[in-house]
Amino acid sequence: MDRRLADMPPGTDKIGPTADVPLVLVVAEEWPGLLRAAQARDRKLGDRITSAMLRLASEGRKAAFRVLVLARRFEAAAVGGGYLREQLGLTISFRVPAESLTMLHGDDARELGGEHAPPNLVSPSSRPLAAP
């Protein structure tokens, strides 16, 4: 990512994927478990991993990187802080307890949570909450 950002032409704010510079998808499955294991082994290692993921999530898009973070419980404390959750542009949840909907999808989900916990919800960062 650093090399791509350094090679970015002046006056350009992002790199589009091409055959020479392909899109890179970074998948972190069971992210909270990875963080717990790293912190248990070496606190500094856990901090470095968290810092790298935060940077990927906040700057990677302009270098043709995409980040997919998977977790069973996406609580801020378990995933390295609320900043990471804020940087991820799309939240998809499957069946969750009604009280968790607001945590995952914001206040728009409160209305849905009162009635039922739908099987899945999608909330893109710039669009209203939707049940597909």
The position carrying tokens 């940077």 is: 55
Is the pLDDT at 24 greater than 90, yes or no?
yes
Tens digit of each residue's pLDDT (9 = 90 or more) over 51-102: 999 999 999 999 999 999 888 777 777 777 778 878 887 777 776 666 676 6
Q: What is the pLDDT of residue 88?
A: 81
Could you tell me the residue ranges of all domains in the chain? 2-88, 90-132
The model carries a pTM of: 0.70
Q: Assess contact for 98 and 116: CB atoms under 8 A.
A: yes
Q: Which residues contact 123 (CB under 8 A, 6 or more apart)?
A: 90, 91, 104, 105, 106, 108, 109, 129, 130
